[in-house]
Amino acid sequence: MSRSTKKHYRVNTARLIIVLAIIAVVIAGVVVGIKLLGGRSYHNESSFQKYAEKFFDTAADKQSVGESSNTISYGEPLSTGVQIPKLDMDISNDILKDEVKDEKDNFSTDYSGLDPEAKDKACFLAGYSSYETPYKVQSVALTSVIEQNSGSDMEVKSGVVHTYNFSTKAGASIGAAGVFKGDYAPVVSKLVTKALDKSYGDKLRDGWKNKVSADSGAFGNFVLTKDGIRFYFDKGSVIKYDTKDYGIAVCDISYDDLSGYVRDDVGKRVIDTSKKMVCFTFDDGPSIYTNDLLDIFEKYDAVGTFFELGQNVENVKGASDILKRELELGCEIGTHSYDHPYFLSTIGVKKAKANVQKGVNAIEKATGQKPTVFRPPGGEINQKVENAIDIPCILWSVDSLDWSNRNTAQTVANIEKAGNLDGKVVLMHSLYPSTVRAVRELVPKLEAKGYQFVTVSEMIQYRYKENIKSNKIYGYNYFYYSGDDK
């Protein structure tokens, strides 16, 4: 390379730096200009219209289902701007409209003292994202914020997300227990912690990890998407509070990462928490009578929990198909050990653990899925054994004594004399024709009285509002619902 070329090159570099500097100054000027001119504010009907529309764009990650409908109302001092989807399901539309109306009303009340003469103003904005899912479910995340002016700029006062996962079958929204199964909270906690840390880093506030710990109960605010589950955390929960942004944290966890913890029947059956719930459980199967029980459940859109014995799963003809049908119908499979030894009076901790594991393996081999709960033979359990076994242990609150009476009328009478069955877990066995007849009589009778049949895990989640724990004994005294929240 010659000297002159080198010099030429240096001159060009210097010019380039000057040009870049000028461009940078211009960009900075434009950015400041936008901030000053448009800013985080509005001054009249048309600028509020734009302000609201900009918010709708921010709230809309995706709008895959439903037609948007906007309602924008400018006022001094209070303005509102709402965008919601119109879905095919009337019930869902009512739910969304009611939510927005409640929030709007609260906003009007809370900010009624603002003085328009003093140029005070506030606005309520709501927008949405909507998602198609691999299930019979359409999901909507409704983001709503309240802003109030501080001088000439608007500041964000609150930011919340309401999530809805509407079953297209029933229109009603399904919650965590309708989506997750098993001891999912520790797994979700771990995945969410990792994802939030990666996405938000320094923006996360002190102690944020406690807000997403396994027992935080923080995983109820989510939508299903095409690829996974999107969790939301309201302003002020995990991200540091800043009046300049909406402060809502979002994280996506794929269905693959949640494998084994998402139900197969998402959206197929909907549990109404305002209705009474009862759980029928059947021990000692599968047997030649199990399909008769399933026929009844299928006919009445009911479910129950089957505590199966590993040896029957291996030896009863067609057992694998029976168990798969249980899962298809939304029933729950628990293990009742491999071959029914008494844990406390006969075999002790170590053998109990091995026996349950063998029972678990038989079910997993037959269905591809591990049982979610366990019931000890004869109800023999203590905390030491439970800790070793490490699957939620389920006892019962109503004993049908079907194994001893083997009589339809007596089995029915033993269950009915328990009175209010809301929140109760009934013990039966899938071994006797008399039990099948009793169930055939009771299921339609109880449904007519307003009961819905649930699995035991659903009962714990929906009636007792507890995330099921793997080393807990849900004992004889647990399943007595006091009806406090009704």
Nearest to 232 by CA among 172, 132, 143, 131: 143
Q: How many whole angstroms separate alpha carbon 90 and alpha carbon 94?
A: 6
Q: Of the listed pieces 189-197, 279-287, 294-302, 327-335, which binds Ni ion according to CB under 5 A?
A: 279-287
Q: Which of 162, 183, 422, 429 is catalytic?
A: 429
Q: How many whole angstroms separate alpha carbon 309 and alpha carbon 340?
A: 7
Touching Ni ion, residues 452-481 (CB under 5 A): none
* Binding residue for Ni ion, selected from 103, 147, 284, 422, defined by CB under 5 A: 284
Query: Shortest approach of Ni ion to residue 473 CB, angstroms?
Result: 17
Query: Shortest approach of Ni ion to residue 315 CB, angstroms?
Result: 16
Nearer to Ni ion, 77 or 376 (CB): 376
Q: Which of 183, 234, 283, 422 is catalytic?
A: 283
Query: Shortest approach of Ni ion to residue 378 CB, angstroms?
Result: 7
Among all chains, which residue has been given the structure tokens 């959206």?
A: 267
Binding mask 323-362 for Ni ion (x = CB under 5 A): ----------------------------------------
Q: Is 283 a catalytic residue?
A: yes
Pairing state between β 137-150 and 122-132: antiparallel
Nearer to Ni ion, 85 or 377 (CB): 377
**Site size toward Ni ion, by CB under 5 A:** 3
* Binding residue for Ni ion, selected from 283, 332, 386, 402, defined by CB under 5 A: 283
Touching Ni ion, residues 366-425 (CB under 5 A): 377
- Residue 120: is it exposed, middle or buried by C-beta count within 10 angstroms (0-12/13-18/19+)? middle
Query: Shortest approach of Ni ion to residue 428 CB, angstroms?
Result: 11
Nearer to Ni ion, 208 or 432 (CB): 432
Nearer to Ni ion, 297 or 307 (CB): 307
- Hey, which residues does 305 pair with through a beta bridge? 281, 332
Tally the C-alpha atoms within 13 A of residue 71's C-alpha that lie toward its C-beta: 11
308 binds Ni ion (CB under 5 A): no
Nearer to Ni ion, 104 or 375 (CB): 375
Nearer to Ni ion, 247 or 377 (CB): 377
Query: Shortest approach of Ni ion to residue 336 CB, angstroms?
Result: 6
Query: Shortest approach of Ni ion to residue 322 CB, angstroms?
Result: 17
Among all chains, which residue has been given the structure tokens 């448009």?
A: 38
Binding mask 191-210 for Ni ion (x = CB under 5 A): --------------------
Query: Shortest approach of Ni ion to residue 403 CB, angstroms?
Result: 8
- Hey, which residues does 308 pair with through a beta bridge? 285, 335
Nearer to Ni ion, 127 or 377 (CB): 377
Nearest to 139 by CA among 109, 115, 110, 162: 162
Nearest residue to Ni ion, using CB?
283
Q: Is 429 a catalytic residue?
A: yes
Nearer to Ni ion, 124 or 479 (CB): 479
**b/e per residue, 364-402, with b = 16+ CB within 10 A?**
eebbebebbbbbbbebebeeebbebbebbbbbbbbbbbb
Among all chains, which residue has been given the structure tokens 């995706």?
A: 62
Task: Write down how long the chain is.
Answer: 486
Query: Shortest approach of Ni ion to residue 400 CB, angstroms?
Result: 13
Binding mask 118-157 for Ni ion (x = CB under 5 A): ----------------------------------------
Interface residues toward Ni ion, by CB under 5 A: 283-284, 377
Q: Which residues are catalytic?
A: 283, 429
